[in-house]
Amino acid sequence: MLKQPIQKALNEQIQAELYSSYLYYAMSAYLESKGLPGAAGWMRVQAMEELTHADKLFKYINDRGGRVQLAQIGAPGAEWPSPAAAFEAAYNHEVSITERINKLVDISREHSDHNTYNFLQWFVAEQVEEEATASEVIDKFRLADTGGGGGMFMLDRELATRAFVMPTSEKG
């Protein structure tokens, strides 16, 4: 059985992950409007991955006999100063999500909830990747910017290759 403060914190994290998805879908739409279908596709895959993060928390709360309670998700905005700025905002958002995950881990320790502590280790590792991938794309945008229009075209083609892979535990 989940303790109340843990359940509350996990529910808040579901909301944060769903907001991440909503934000990345908004960024995808923005990138599409800027004539960058590859970057838009990359961001759409990111948005889909965030849904699987929310789903992981959803399932965990239920598995522990808790109660999922969904809250309102705020509007993510629709415009950024440039495509590179959208990726910078995505990176900054991931840094804030890492802080949230770290706080969740702290709460699980405060309540000696070893199951939740263990469960959260997946998210701890995932956040390293989330920050790194966003940061890599920002670096590529900087390089592409120096290469004129051709550099951006090549980068967009590269970003188009990212595919969504359904995590094994969420299949079926």
Instruction: Please give the residue ranges that form the binding site for ligand OFO (CB under 6 A).
Output: 17, 20, 50, 53, 94, 97, 126, 130
CA distance 105 to 107: 5
- Minimum Å gap between C-beta 24 and ligand OFO is 8
- Minimum Å gap between C-beta 162 and ligand OFO is 14
Which ranges in 64-113 belong to alpha helices (H)?
Answer: 83-110
Enter the tokens of residue 1: 């059985």
| Pick 4 or 170: Cβ nearer ligand OFO | 170
| Pick 22 or 153: Cβ nearer ligand OFO | 22
CA distance 13 to 11: 5
- Minimum Å gap between C-beta 32 and ligand OFO is 20
| Pick 58 or 153: Cβ nearer ligand OFO | 58
What is the three-state SS of 139-171?
Answer: HHHHHHHHCHHHHHHHHHHHHCCCCCCCCHHHC
| Residue keyed to tokens 């403060």 | 5
| Pick 78 or 132: Cβ nearer ligand OFO | 132
- Minimum Å gap between C-beta 130 and ligand OFO is 4
CA distance 172 to 154: 36
CA distance 16 to 73: 8
Report the candidate in 96, 101, 89 with the shortest Cα–Cα distance to residue 137. Answer: 89
| Pick 6 or 51: Cβ nearer ligand OFO | 51
Nearest to ligand OFO by Cβ — which residue? 20
Enter the tokens of residue 60: 């965990």
- Minimum Å gap between C-beta 12 and ligand OFO is 13
